[in-house]
Amino acid sequence: MNNGPLQGISVVEVGSGPAIALAARMMAGYGADVVKVEPPTGDPSRRVGPFPPGARDTETSAAFLYLHGGKRSVVIDLVRTDGRDRLRSLIDGADVVLVDVPDADRTRLGVDRSWWKAVAPDAVVVSMSPYGETGPRSGWLTSDLVAFATGGQMSLMGEPDREPLKSYGNQAELQAAFHVYGAALAGLRLRDRTGSGQYVRIDGQQVQASSMEAQGPMAYNRDPLPVAFTSRSGNGSRAIWSQYECVDGYVGVFVNAPNLPAFFAAIGRPELLERMTDAEFVGSELGPIVAQWCAERTMQQVFDAALEFGAPFSYVATPEVLLASDTVAATGIWRHVDHPVAGRFRVPGPPVRSAELAFELAPAPLLGEHTADVLRPTTTPAVTGRPVSDSE
């Protein structure tokens, strides 16, 4: 049994987006009983790779195994009337409901604000949507690419004279996961104090806008914007705030004024500290010096120098490097999970580690594995583990 701080809290996840999936996974790790509602064909993330070599199966998707660890899977056909009845019965008794279905489906499924007010005012409902539940864009769909664009992030990324770029993967949606997670915890805390549930709306566009550092507040408060905030900077960089190529990869150098003594000591040139008031030196001479020092060393040698002198730079690690790193392993970040189909594999541990916060990494469920137990006596066990063909 998971004895984490959320033990005794029941959570129902209704939807298929990475934001609510990761938020629910974190809640499960900290002890909540999370029920993942899946369609008969399985959650779409079951068909997202990578997969083990030569195997494409609903139970071996790396995306699903990571996002849904520690949950229980219940198959409900929400197209059917009896399926919607089962969903309502399931969520009516939940402490937390995380939902991201399209706005047009919320009333039909019974997971909208009116349901919360009438049936479950004690529950904490976190509603994730691209552009909110009201307004002219409330019914619009989105993707990670669209979220990056409409939230402002892509205005900062890429070369000034080229097309804008998006960060790799599903980072916009995964950033939203922490807003969903935080909203759920805050709602539970407030319920403990007031006795009333909460209906919290998370807007994906606002999540992105809030992550723009200085550019976001500037856009809200300055008109016109300073020139530095109106175009993408691309790969333009300063000598001590950049990436450099080394023997076997790349390193990042990110030095602020208080770190300059440690930085110059690490590269063996402490005398250069006195020249940092010389604009010509900083603008044209320092960069090649740093580049030459990095080019003569491996990523590990750069990292060792950073550790020795307390300098804020390190190597740009690939997944393979991270998995093989003794330094990373020594932090205790890796945990092992045993899955009945996917076998034994490593996953990152909890986002926050503390001796007082028990976090358990359990395997992701098989498709419909817990349908009979959760919905008893209204249904029968679902077929589990349906393979997915390459044509799907």
**Positive or negative: CA dihedral 98, 101, 103, 105:** negative
User: Do residues 21 and 53 both lie within one domain?
Assistant: yes
Alpha carbons 282 and 291: distance in angstroms, whole number: 13
Residue 250, pLDDT score: 92
Q: Which long-range contacts (CB under 8 A, 24 or more apart) does 284-287 make?
A: 286/239, 286/240, 287/239, 287/242
Residues 357, 27: contact at Cβ < 8 Å? Answer: no
Tell me the pLDDT of the chain (392 aa) as tens digits: 677 899 999 999 999 999 999 999 999 999 999 999 999 999 999 999 889 887 788 899 999 999 999 999 999 998 888 988 898 889 888 999 999 987 777 777 777 778 777 777 889 999 999 888 888 888 888 888 998 888 888 888 888 888 888 888 888 899 999 999 999 999 999 999 999 899 999 999 889 888 877 777 777 777 777 666 666 666 556 778 888 999 999 999 888 889 999 999 999 999 999 999 888 888 889 999 999 999 999 998 999 999 999 998 888 888 888 898 888 899 888 999 999 999 999 999 887 777 778 888 899 999 999 999 998 755 444 444 433 333 33
283 found inside a domain: yes
Same domain, yes or no, for 48 and 167? yes
Are residues 137 and 276 part of one domain?
no
The per-residue pLDDT for 94 is: 93
Give the distance, in angstroms, between the CA of residue 288 and the centroid of all CA atoms in the same chain: 37
Q: What is the pLDDT of residue 229?
A: 66
In a shared domain, residues 308 and 361? no
CATH number reported for the structural domain that contains residue 133 in this entry: 3.40.50.10540
| Burial call 5-16: b when 16+ CB within 10 Å, e when fewer | ebeebbbbbbbb
Cβ 40 vs Cβ 75: under 8 Å: yes
Give the structural domain span for 300: 241-327
Q: Is residue 252 part of a domain?
A: yes
In a domain, 218, yes or no: no
In sequence order, the 6+-apart residues with CB closer than 8 A to the CB of 168 are none
Identify whether residues 162 and 41 lie together within a single domain: yes
User: Using an 8 Å Cβ cutoff, are 184 and 126 in contact?
Assistant: yes
Which one, of 389, 339, 323, lies nearest residue 60 by Cα? 339
- In sequence order, what are the beta bridge partners of 313? 253
Co-location of 194 and 107 in the same domain: yes
What is the Cα–Cα distance from 219 to 133, expressed in whole angstroms?
24
| Same structural domain, 76 and 201 | yes
Specify whether 294 is located in the same domain as 365. Answer: no
Q: Is position 295 within any domain?
A: yes
- 55 and 137 both lie in a single domain: yes
Residue ending a domain, among 292, 327, 362, is 327
Q: How far is CA 316 from CA 89, 244, 253, 267, 336, in A?
A: 49, 10, 10, 18, 25
Decide if 81 is inside a domain.
Answer: yes
Residues 143, 245 within the same domain = no
- Residues in contact with 172: Cβ distance below 8 Å, sequence separation at least 6, in sequence order: 144, 147, 148, 151, 153, 204, 207, 208
Same domain for 200 and 117? yes
pLDDT at residue 392, as a whole number: 34
Q: So what's the pLDDT on residue 235?
A: 57
**Strands lying side by side in the sheet with 198-203:** 72-75, 33-38, 10-14, 96-99, 124-129, 198-203
Cα–Cα distance, 381 to 259 (Å, whole number): 61
Structure tokens at 232: 């993408």
Q: Is residue 84 part of a domain?
A: yes
Whether residue 11 contacts residue 98, with contact meaning beta carbons closer than 8 Å, is answered with: yes
Report the CATH number that the domain containing residue 252 is assigned in CATH: 3.30.1540.10
Both 135 and 57 in one domain: the answer is yes
Give the chain's count of helices (H) and strands (E): 16, 11
Q: Is residue 392 part of a domain?
A: no
The answer to whether the beta carbons of residues 153 and 172 sit under 8 Å apart is yes
- Shortest CA distance to 370 belongs to which of 71, 98, 92? 71
Would 234 be classed as within a structural domain? no
The vertex-188 CA angle with 186 and 192, nearest 5°, equals 115
| Domain total in the chain | 2
